[in-house]
Chain A
Amino acid sequence: DAGVTQSPTHLIKTRGQQVTLRCSPKSGHDTVSWYQQALGQGPQFIFQYYEEEERQRGNFPDRFSGHQFPNYSSELNVNALLLGDSALYLCASSLPFDATEAFFGQGTRLTVV
């Protein structure tokens, strides 16, 4: 079992550009959540997908959007990048009603210059 896999591992983008991050959940998991972690802080919830729909959303602007595919994999898209979007982006997968035991990927380190 490969666990949760994220790609790419590192990414450098310029202000104003758009970025897409990808996540494959742990086998058997159909719920995917995305988190943003700034340096020195705890992860902040962005949104959660289940059955290809956004189920919950945190306090993030509409520039952050996502998608879940029929195979449960997910994408996080961020438009009009700001310097403040530089962070570690984490994907977590879980069973739909047992999200307290979530499995996290290694994350994607996004740097906006």
Chain B
Amino acid sequence: LAKTTQPISMDSYEGQEVNITCSHNNIATNDYITWYQQFPSQGPRFIIQGYKTKVTNEVASLFIPADRKSSTLSLPRVSLSDTAVYYCLVGDDEGMDSSYKLIFGSGTRLLVRP
């Protein structure tokens, strides 16, 4: 089962800032928080990853409060091409040999309107 909870969908307009919040109440001490973006009929694409406080790259920012039970992906000034599904993942599921796999939930469908 996915360890995260996200809104099913969000609407925005071009040029606005979009914030998608993810809840992960049972996050483990050594879990990182990772966000992926997926366009229709394509594989997911890594956006950003963080452990605590704030991480910023050329695409997005990730805000993580001190208790790490939630995180917020911030997309500045979205465009129509940012319309996609956004997945929040934690960890996860470490195997016996320290391997692990990605556990995807249903994601947040972001629609950017003109």
* Contacts from A to B (Cβ < 8 Å): 4, 31, 33, 35, 40-45, 48, 50, 55-56, 58, 88, 90-92, 96-97, 99-107, 109
Contacts and interface: CB of A to CB of B under 8 A. Distances in A.
Contacts of B49: 100-101
B73 interface: no
A97 B102 contact: no
Given A42-B106, A100-B34, A92 B43 contact: yes
Given A42-B2, A42-B87, A100-B89, A58 B101 contact: yes
The 7 A-B pairs at the shortest CB distance, nearest first, are namely A104-B43, A42-B104, A45-B101, A56-B95, A55-B99, A100-B34, A43-B104
Nearest to A9: B41
17 contacts: A31-B99, A33-B101, A35-B104, A48-B99, A55-B95, A91-B43, A92-B43, A100-B34, A100-B89, A101-B46, A104-B42, A104-B43, A105-B43, A106-B41, A106-B42, A107-B42, A109-B41
Contacts, number: 70
Nearest to A50: B99
Given A100-B34, A104-B44, A55 B97 contact: yes
B45 interface: yes
A8 to B, nearest CB: 14
B103 A96 contact: no
